[in-house]
Structure 1
Amino acid sequence: MVSATLLRAAAALALPFFVSATPTYRVKRNDTNPEWADNLLQESMTWMDMFYDAEAGYLYSLSAQALTHETRASAWYAAGLLARNEGNDAEEAVKIVENVISGQHKNESSQWYGDYQIYPEEPTVGTKQYPPNIYNSWDPNWRGFVGTTLIIMLEEFPELIPQDTQDRMMESLHNATVGDSYRVGGVDDDNLYPSYSNPALMRAFMSGWVGRRTNEANMTSAGETYATEILDLFNRANTLSEFNSGTYAGVSLYALTLWAKYMDESSVMGQNGARMIKETWSSLASLYNANLKNVAGPWDRSYGFDMNRYLSIIALHMWTLVGKDKAPINAKPYAMGHKDDFAIGPLVAILAPFHNTLISAEALSSLQTFPGTHSVKTSAFSPPWDTYPRNITAWLSPKLTIGAESFSENVIGGPAKNPNSFNPAIAQWGRADGTVGWFTLHPQVMKLDAVASENVLELTYPDGNETSTFEFLIGTNSKNGKRDVASWEDVEGVKVTVNGTVDSAYEVTFSGLVGGAGDPINDFEFWNFTYSMPQGSKETPKVRLQFELVE
């Protein structure tokens, strides 16, 4: 049963429930957001409308998994229904919310207490036939994704939600916040540390917001303490620990908007959220090449190698800032790689009128027009994975960008332990047909010295030996380029000169959708250029790559 305290807190939020008499609600516009946020809301909702199962009160799986449903996207869709508020949208939103809440895990002794089902058809997590598997059968980050969505609904659209549903939303938020407190980095396979930026920011916010609404001082204090730990990491270089991720920097900006908009000055989150948004955008804008429509590397976690081809949440924010045509978004977003993230579009749109006032004029200008050739130097720190802060360098010119980060870590593949998403050394270039070519180092070591400078990328394995290899992944050529690649001479749009302590001979293989030596990474096909050390070499593995654009 929900406590009397929770009921009183929810009642304080509520207004009477009106549907038919309520005028259509659109995303609020201002001079910074003329119609772009509303466009994002309408396009993302029109796409999700096709997946909505009104009888079940859930979205079908956006990955078309045999008509199963999914929970998180359904919650996001419900928020969008309230924002759109046409016809019976509000009634359907309430139906979805009730379903999502009813699927919350309620066993207080389980590690997944307060979390939400991945999909409603799944078996009971923790049974013999369906054992718990973190980030698979249950995802602890969904407490934050779903919970913050419920908070946005309560904050922005209380007049559209019946009182009894609001009561249950508050109870659910309380459960999710308590369950999130079970998370301790390094315990029970959990990886939540303050350096895991996007869920950490959501965790701090939920604890602070729910604690204040329910008058629970310990919960409030826990949120403030966690937020301070995140802030300490941020303040050392004004960078997120989870640095420069097309997807997760977008989630972090979403969470920071909740800090800035819904937490008052009594909170460290209310005091610092707006500044952190401004600084994060300044960092992203300094690395953005508007000609290529890509944020230059390095990328701590990426779901693709060209933002024009996979859907990133940063690009959704940019849609509301500069318009869809100028953002790295295809005309058909749902055809892009990682398209399921289009479902968060309504939340980005709802928050955009507030969020977009916090970006500096200089950063906004850089998102629209490339400011000219320049270099970037900064750092980021992700304890306990990093033994020292990662040193980041990048060089950007009108049609060529190079980025790199030096690191010393206790894992391979960055804090996410995923070599397929960790990209510590990247180059991108514009090709004659307007498409983007790309190059990335596939990570194989725990320690790398990497420096990007004008036309040059220098890489060293300090702890390497004669068995070390450098695997360079190169994107496939454009439709008009060569289909077959056997050497650097076959790579479209760029000339690459390689030297160092490696053997000058190299092996080229292909990883394709339906064949080759391996599988694509994040749906991107590529050519793998592998350099090895000479047999018996005692030298430190080093390689220097010089890039030159070719018309």
Structure 2
Amino acid sequence: MLSKLNWLVGLGLLAATSPARAAHLSKHAQDLFDESMNFQDMIYDPSAHYLRWFYFPLAAGVHETRSTVWRTIGLLQRNHGDDAEEAAKILELIIADQEKDTSKQWFGDYTVYPEQPTVGGPAYDPVIYNSWDPNWRGFIGTTLIMVYEEYKDLLPPHIQDLVLESIYNSTVGDTYRVGGVDDDNLYPAYTNPWLMRTVASSWTGMKMNDSNMTYWGDKWTQEFLDLYNVNHTISEYNSPTYVGVSLAALTIAAKYMTNITNPPLIAQHSEQIIRDIWEVESQLWNPMMRNFAGPWDRTYGYDMNNYVAIISLWIWSLVGKDVAYDNVNPIGTFAHADDLEIGPLLAVLADTQKKIIPESVLRRFSSSHFIGEHTYHGQAYAPPVDYEPRNVTTWVSANLTIGAESFNQTALGGSREDTNAWNPAVVQWLRSDGSVGYLTWYSTEKAMQADVSPYTLNLTYPAGNETSVFTFALSSNPLGAKRDIYSLDAIDGLKVEVGGSVKPEPEVSFCGFVGGTCPIIHDFEFWNLTFVMPANSTEVPNIHFKLSLE
């Protein structure tokens, strides 16, 4: 592949790029950048030229590939001492491990971690999203685009060539992905990798005058737009981590592909989609709780003050850390702290994105500009899992939020069929110590009708029967409140009245770090409340919550 790139350069067909310089960072973006780099510096292994794999902090001696590529943005932006030389070493090592065999389904992909056995070897079966992750091509490929656009001239010529070759190979490899084939699930509804693939193909076609890449970039953009325009919401609806990834991909398109003649189709639409996303998210944001009200299509936690969500990092970069977090503890101590490693990328893109977002939308994230109690109605659609668009209603007040969506799906757990991440009905409230409590439905049915109004949540299973159950994860009480929650009246800060066709008293168990009857989810422990139907009931399964603050 490298020879093709050199041929293109020799013919003058590769578009010229301006000299690399440190990107201008606003104060908030610089704050995020500095904290992310300080965190990375603590877990960086200079002898290996890799970050340790913080997602598994107890994994002895294991490093991680994706976050280490993110680090190269930080090193080149900081550019102190030997930072640029270290970035070049990292890039050379990671690109050397990229799969070069075009016959492999994972061609153009990168190792999940460098110590892993060779994928497809006798002891290491090629299992998608396990021994190899097709989304790594998108995460790393789009990062390399930023490396080339922002910092090319800080790298030796042979590393510049390697970066281009790597982007080209990962982009070709992503063409191997077809939803429903070879266990792959990439459809336009899988928003974040679909957008990363689209942006990478569009950029590669533009830079290398490759009409095939340009064609596919525009084709994938149109497929995304055909779905997006149904409701003007992305399919990975209100997902605190993956909305953040989608925004990064769209901002790469807006920053590097709009100010040219005949920009790719994704660049033509990127700014409007960014504005649309933030318009929706700003209406779901509760600045008193520093959380997005539910429902969440995919989440890695139940309270954004206690886990790192990429969209929280975006808010930090745009309007300040104090807006995103109400916690004096270092962000590196939060659950899912490894996502702090993406901070340098967001910081470099932040000023571009901030210019796109209306000031009136940004103001909604500040508690002093809270728009007051309101109800949001919307729709989202994620075929092939969704039979029909999901109807969303979210009620937001200062101290209590209720959000839910009606759905009819082919499988449990939403579009990613992940019952731990899919949260289509969520209640959050402020508790006696100012912390956030949560009550979120756990997936046990493929179809549910949800009705939300102020202080009420009503859930119905249209295809349920007397064996159906309504299961919820409930936050533990804060320090100083009742330790045990064996009845609803023990919940701190929230009064719950139960109606409907279920038995009004739940079966209670505890899912804890070091004990209980069930495992924790995404590093959050909780009380498991399960409401069952009366024996031999012929009624439609329904639960009705009437909620009030204590």
User: For this structure pair, what is the TM-score category when the shorter chain's length is used for normalisation?
Assistant: over 0.9
- Which has the higher mean CA deviation after the structures are superposed, 159-168 or 399-408? 159-168
Distance of aligned partners of 1:68 and 1:433 in 2 relative to their CA distance in 1, 3 Å threshold: same
Q: Please give the per-residue CA displacement for 1:485-530, whole angstroms capped at 9, x wherever unaligned.
A: 1101100000000100112232111110011110111111111111
Equivalence map 1:453-472=2 (5 Å) = 453-472=453-472
1:268 paired with 2:265, answer: yes
* Counterpart position of 2:29: 37
1:393 paired with 2:393, answer: yes
1:297 paired with 2:291, answer: no
Check the 8 A contact 2:204/2:213 in 1, yes or no. Answer: yes
Output the CA distance in 2 between the equivalents of 1:501 and 1:343.
47
- Which has the higher mean CA deviation after the structures are superposed, 452-461 or 233-242? 233-242
Matched position secondary structure for 2:509: strand
Check the 8 A contact 1:205/1:269 in 2, yes or no. Answer: yes
Equivalence map 1:32-431=2 (5 Å) = 33=26, 35-62=27-54, 63-64=56-57, 65-264=59-258, 265-328=262-325, 330-331=327-328, 332-369=330-367, 370-431=370-431
Output the CA distance in 2 between the equivalents of 1:133 and 1:329.
40
Check the 8 A contact 1:307/1:329 in 2, yes or no. Answer: no
In percent, how many aligned pairs have the same letter? Answer: 47
Output the CA distance in 1 between the equivalents of 2:253 and 2:6.
22
Shift of 1:61: 1.6
Shift of 1:12: 4.9
Code of the aligned partner of 2:379: S
Output the CA distance in 2 between the equivalents of 1:504 and 1:314.
37
Shift of 1:107: 1.3
Matched position secondary structure for 2:519: coil
Check the 8 A contact 1:330/1:336 in 2, yes or no. Answer: no
Distance of aligned partners of 1:366 and 1:428 in 2 relative to their CA distance in 1, 3 Å threshold: same
Shift of 1:273: 0.2
Shift of 1:360: 1.6
Output the CA distance in 2 between the equivalents of 1:50 and 1:527.
35
Shift of 1:55: 2.1
Code of the aligned partner of 2:177: R
Query: How many residues were matched structurally?
Result: 539
Code of the aligned partner of 1:541: P
Shift of 1:132: 0.5
Check the 8 A contact 1:468/1:532 in 2, yes or no. Answer: yes
The equivalent position to 1:28 in structure 2, one of 21, 24, 30, is: 24
Distance of aligned partners of 1:200 and 1:418 in 2 relative to their CA distance in 1, 3 Å threshold: same
Matched position secondary structure for 1:383: coil
Output the CA distance in 1 between the equivalents of 2:236 and 2:18.
39
- Which has the higher mean CA deviation after the structures are superposed, 361-370 or 378-387? 361-370
Check the 8 A contact 2:458/2:545 in 1, yes or no. Answer: yes
Code of the aligned partner of 2:342: I
Output the CA distance in 1 between the equivalents of 2:95 and 2:495.
56
Check the 8 A contact 2:23/2:150 in 1, yes or no. Answer: no
Runs of at least 5 residues in structure 2 that lack an aligned partner in the other structure: none
Check the 8 A contact 2:19/2:151 in 1, yes or no. Answer: no
1:436 paired with 2:436, answer: yes
Output the CA distance in 1 between the equivalents of 2:16 and 2:502.
65
Code of the aligned partner of 1:159: D
* Counterpart position of 1:21: none
* Counterpart position of 2:532: 532
Output the CA distance in 2 between the equivalents of 1:147 and 1:385.
28
Output the CA distance in 1 between the equivalents of 2:117 and 2:79.
34
Shift of 1:51: 1.7
- Which has the higher mean CA deviation after the structures are superposed, 335-344 or 505-514? 505-514
* Counterpart position of 1:22: none
Code of the aligned partner of 2:306: R
Matched position secondary structure for 1:535: coil
Matched position secondary structure for 1:246: coil
Check the 8 A contact 2:5/2:165 in 1, yes or no. Answer: no
Output the CA distance in 2 between the equivalents of 1:251 and 1:4.
31
Matched position secondary structure for 1:310: coil
Shift of 1:480: 1.5
Check the 8 A contact 1:78/1:93 in 2, yes or no. Answer: yes
Check the 8 A contact 1:197/1:241 in 2, yes or no. Answer: yes
Check the 8 A contact 1:263/1:270 in 2, yes or no. Answer: yes
* Counterpart position of 1:20: none
* Counterpart position of 2:481: 481
Check the 8 A contact 1:27/1:349 in 2, yes or no. Answer: no
Output the CA distance in 1 between the equivalents of 2:6 and 2:230.
38
Output the CA distance in 2 between the equivalents of 1:459 and 1:532.
13
Q: Please give the per-residue CA displacement for 1:121-150, whole angstroms capped at 9, x wherever unaligned.
A: 111100121001111100000000000000
Output the CA distance in 2 between the equivalents of 1:14 and 1:425.
48
Shift of 1:385: 0.7
Matched position secondary structure for 2:231: coil
Shift of 1:216: 1.4
Equivalence map 1:513-524=2 (5 Å) = 513-524=513-524
Output the CA distance in 2 between the equivalents of 1:463 and 1:409.
12
Q: Please give the per-residue CA displacement for 1:150-185, whole angstroms capped at 9, x wherever unaligned.
A: 000111111211111111111111110111000000
Runs of at least 5 residues in structure 1 that lack an aligned partner in the other structure: 18-24
Q: What is the TM-score when the length of structure 2 is the normalising length?
A: 0.96
